Chains A and B, each alone.
Chain A
Amino acid sequence: MALIESEHTRAGEISPGLLHDDPKDASGKIAIFQYLTVVVFVFLVSGFWALQVQNPDVYSEAAERNRIKSTPILAPRGKILDRDGRVIVDNKASYSLLLNRDQIKPEHLPAMAEALQLDYGALADKIHRMGANPQIIIKDQLTRDDIAWVESHQDVDTYPEMQLIRAWRRQYPQDGFSAHVVGYVGEISESELDLPQFLDYRQGDIIGKDGLERQYDQTLRGVDGQERVLVDNMGHEREAETTQEALPGKDLRTTLDLDLQAVAELSMEGKRGAVVALDPRNGEVLAMVSRPTFDPNKFTGRISRDDWNEIANDPYKPLMDRAIQAEFAPGSTFKPFTALAGLETGVIDDKTEFHCAGGASFYGHYFACWRKPPGHGQISLHRGIAQSCDVYFYNVANRLGIDRLAHYAELAGFGHKTGIDLPNERESTMPSTKWKMRMFRQKWYAGETISVGVGQGAVTVSPLELAAAEGGLAVGGNWYQPHLVKTAAPKLLRAGNLNPDNVQQIISGMYGSVNEAGGTGFPGRLPNVKVCGKTGTAQLVSNKFLKGRKIDQTMKDNAWFVGYAPEEAPEIVVVALFENGEHGDRAGWIVRDVLKSYFDKKAREAKAQNRSAQFRPPPLFADPQTVTAALNVPLPKGFTR
């Protein structure tokens, strides 16, 4: 009471209430209060106006995101099949771990990284970069232990952001078989995401990184579906809303023949190089092998750093697809094109003879033949090809000059990419005066033509390009584009309009190489099949350089062999490159094996067809028409004849 007493209250004053207790003198202040109230309410209503009337969509979408949890249903990629429909690349069901962005807490990540054996730095970085994606996959191919750990920790109180989803793991052939041609898949990278062709891809998507997987990614990849579930604030699922099923990717039927592929793979075991088998009549690739190889199964999803380093730092570059990327001098396998240019231009004919004394001098330089003096002696086209006489082709090249030679070589595909449906094909080189001016701003010297005539010098080619070039010549001068997926009509790249006699001369020489005494291509010989072929031994370093040095494995000559059969109507051409194989015949065995398996299979199939044609089992349920006709009785009611 004393607290409130003050000097203002004066006892004894008469009716103090009447004097100063008149509420009317506060009316001004009350009015102020009323204005203030109006202001407050206008302030509040304007707040609702801004939220509810001005941008209602923003908030209704936010509410929608709140209540609907969508889980991706991953679409399986299409399988990759061989020409007979046999599976080369398959999918295997697995589980992946997904994090829901809205529930991710940074403090959870270290524990998750540790339990799942993930690199914490990489994980944190990935979460940081996920942007507007509602979910992100942080681990694929969960092990049983991983799944057990996730299931026991994904409750609301621990790590509710974790979610297991069914995923598909790519399954590639064992031991790196057909690894290069098939390629592999991997998570889309940041730099790829920025490219225009990946516009409709999102972070975390698995895409084809190389080979067919990359080339036909659009075909192979399906469309992921989505399962939408109503959830409450604790993440508990209330009821299913809608489910959009995943659309599986389309299978890819390739032109590869698994039988040939397997033989080619096995024949290259332990070697470095490549094998390509084509159908020269349409460009279909039957087999394509590159060695050394790698295991693409290690690449699916997220490869471990150690595995990657091991592969990336291998001096022999196992990731390189030598079939389309190894550019080497073709060596003597080029000689048929020198011959073609000579015959077509008329600088030689089948009777033209040169003298081989184990070497010859041109423009002051001595060029040796592979056969030491006394050499091949008097030699014409047929024996020149069959015995691969260098001096013969030095002379042809010398008569031709580089530009005429280049014209016919380019017609066959030298200096061009084949345009096969694989990524990262490299372009071969065919030198010419124009080429030298463009590249080096120098004039061409006539002496340089001599080496080019035997496939040395600046000319380079990949196994695929060589196979396409030789195959096109073998079918009379029609060069088709090599391809791995069957197209409606084979694409004719170039038609030579060659003189069939000239082509026949060359084919006959190549037949001689394989089948005649003294032929260098003898390893390609097969019983019952007329194989034509040509060896090639391409120098990597000059003999002068090698003199007095210890020969390193990688300095040995590359061995090439090209073979096709049958002579009268070639239907398969095989090229083998055996890096540092020293001599062409060592590649010949590989080609022979592939050719043999091709013709063996053909014979097998013909036999099977023959048998099925002879054997017609009687129909179990014969149709009434046939039966009644055979028995010569009237047809039952209801049947019309």
Chain B
Amino acid sequence: MPVYRSIRDLDWPLLIVTLALCTLGVLQIYSATLGTRWQDAWWKQIVWVITGLAMMWVMAAIDYHSLLGPRVIYLYIASVVLLVVTGFAGNKVFGSTRWIKVAGFTLQTSEFVKIVLILLMAKSLTDLKTGPLNWKDLAKLAGLVAVPMILVMKEPDLGTALTYIPILVCGILMAGLRWKYLLIITAILVVILPIGYHFLKPYQKDRLVSFIYPDRDPKGTGFQVIQSRIAVGNGGMWGRGAKESSQTHLGFLPVPHTDFIFSSFAEEHGFVGVVIALVLYFLLIMQVVQNAQTATDKAGLYICMGIAALLLFHVLVNVGMVVGRMPITGIPLPLMSSGGSSTWSIFLMLGLVNSVRLRRFVN
């Protein structure tokens, strides 16, 4: 198998869009944290992006097929073990244990598990015979995703756990599912979801309730929903201008550089800025999908589509939350939110996409 790769062959449009979003992210982090205790987050983010780029390059160099052998099983087992270890030995931040210290870095294990799950899904689906999946396949796939998902939920980190679902769903739908199965699964979900509500933590229930009725307790859980909406609305058409946003700078926005960075962005850059940023995200996802379309085999397609689905889910849930159209879940906005684990895992995924792209002419 001739391996020919150079910088020239990378997905440049994808890379440009990615870097554009990272730039918006760094600038917004700088503006939003100026004068707060997080005010050095912007240059840390630059470090994350640069190291992320290197990781992407390394990942692109690796033939994704080589990861789909037994290695993915080892990675999967390692992930589960790590999640268990995180649960016991991790750092507690904001009341949940999501982070683990590795060589001086605080890493959020659950972010990297996404990549493993994408690979695992690709491997499992290519191992199957083509054609609609049967119940046994579905049960196996769901079980494989459920184990880490439950572990992450226990941390507790419902938001990140939920991001594993689009990986599973996208994989299944890409592999093909009978209409009958689809209907039955939908029916079961409709029955189960209300029951599942009772198993949520009280604060999670509050978030759901305050999403639907934010004004019920404007000082408590509804606070974030209302303040984010006020921030976005305050931006208006053209925005308040960088560093001029009152909601962000007077601390009314919760964590304006991580989960709510887009509120802060929307307040400072207005509707025009929002549309520009969303167009960039749209191009990013479409570019990943384009790589799925040109992939040489189904494994590549599954990987790219899994990543596209994950990105779409992140953007939908995070931006939806910012604009008050989704409940508060606390998942970051890819590439813009400040945070090493999230940034690195996205770059690793984009590395995978490039790996698929670089091998599209093989065979």
Which residues in A have some Cβ–Cβ distance to B below 8 Å?
1, 3-6, 8-10, 17, 20-23, 25-27, 29-30, 33-34, 36-38, 40-41, 43-45, 47-49, 51-53, 55-56, 58-60, 62-64, 66-67, 102-103, 105, 230-234, 238
Contacts and interface: CB of A to CB of B under 8 A. Distances in A.
Given A9-B128, A21-B126, 14 more contacts: A20-B130, A23-B296, A23-B297, A30-B289, A33-B289, A33-B309, A43-B325, A44-B325, A45-B275, A45-B278, A58-B233, A59-B233, A66-B252, A103-B219
Contacts of B319: 44
Given A47-B320, A233-B251, A238-B250, A52 B309 contact: no
A52 B236 contact: yes
Interface centre among A10, A40, A230 (most CB of B within 10 A): A40
Contacts of A56: 233-237
Contacts of A21: 126, 130, 297-299
A26 B296 CA distance: 12
Contacts of A4: 73, 123-124, 127, 140, 144
A30 B293 contact: yes
Contact of B233 (A10, A25, A45, A62): A62
B312 interface: yes
Q: Which 4 pairs from chain A and chain B are nearest by CB?
A: A59-B233, A8-B129, A20-B130, A47-B323
Given A4-B127, A9-B127, A43-B325, A37 B312 contact: yes
A36 B311 CA distance: 13
Contacts of A37: 282, 285-286, 289, 308, 312
Contacts of A51: 229, 232-233, 323-324
Contacts of A40: 312, 315-316
A40 B318 CA distance: 12
Contacts of B247: 63, 66-67
A59 B234 contact: yes
A67 B246 contact: yes
A66 B253 CA distance: 11
B123 to A, nearest CB: 7
24 contacts: A6-B127, A20-B129, A21-B126, A21-B297, A23-B293, A23-B295, A23-B297, A25-B130, A26-B298, A29-B176, A37-B308, A38-B282, A40-B312, A43-B316, A44-B316, A48-B274, A51-B229, A56-B233, A59-B231, A63-B233, A66-B246, A231-B250, A233-B250, A233-B252
Given A1-B73, A59-B229, A8 B237 contact: no
Interface of chain B: mostly helix, strand, loop or mixed: helix
Interface of B: 70, 73, 123-124, 126-131, 136-137, 140, 144, 170, 173-174, 176, 219, 227, 229-237, 246-247, 250-252, 266, 270-271, 274-275, 278, 281-282, 285-286, 289, 292-293, 295-301, 305, 308-309, 312, 315-316, 319-320, 323-325
A232 B324 contact: no
A34 B131 CA distance: 22
Contacts of A66: 227, 230, 246-247, 250, 252
Given A3-B140, A23-B295, A60 B278 contact: no
B271 A48 contact: yes
Contact of B298 (A3, A23, A59, A230): A23
B324 A47 contact: yes
Contacts of A45: 274-275, 278
A62 B292 contact: no
Contacts of A53: 236-237, 271
A51 B281 CA distance: 20
Contacts of A55: 233
Contact of B301 (A10, A23, A102, A230): A23
Contacts of A47: 320, 323-325
A184 B289 CA distance: 79
B234 A62 contact: yes
A311 B266 CA distance: 62
A52 B297 contact: no
A52 B237 contact: yes
Contacts of B292: 23, 30
A221 to B, nearest CB: 34
A41 B282 contact: yes
B114 to A, nearest CB: 18
A102 to B, nearest CB: 8
A24 to B, nearest CB: 9
Nearest to B272: A52
A256 to B, nearest CB: 52
B140 A6 contact: yes
A189 B230 CA distance: 35
A60 B323 contact: no
Contacts of A20: 129-131, 298
A52 B232 contact: yes
B137 to A, nearest CB: 7
A23 to B, nearest CB: 4
Contacts of B316: 40, 43-44
Interface centre among B227, B235, B296, B320 (most CB of A within 10 A): B235
A407 B239 CA distance: 79
Contact of B173 (A5, A29, A67): A29
Contacts of A30: 174, 289, 292-293, 301, 305
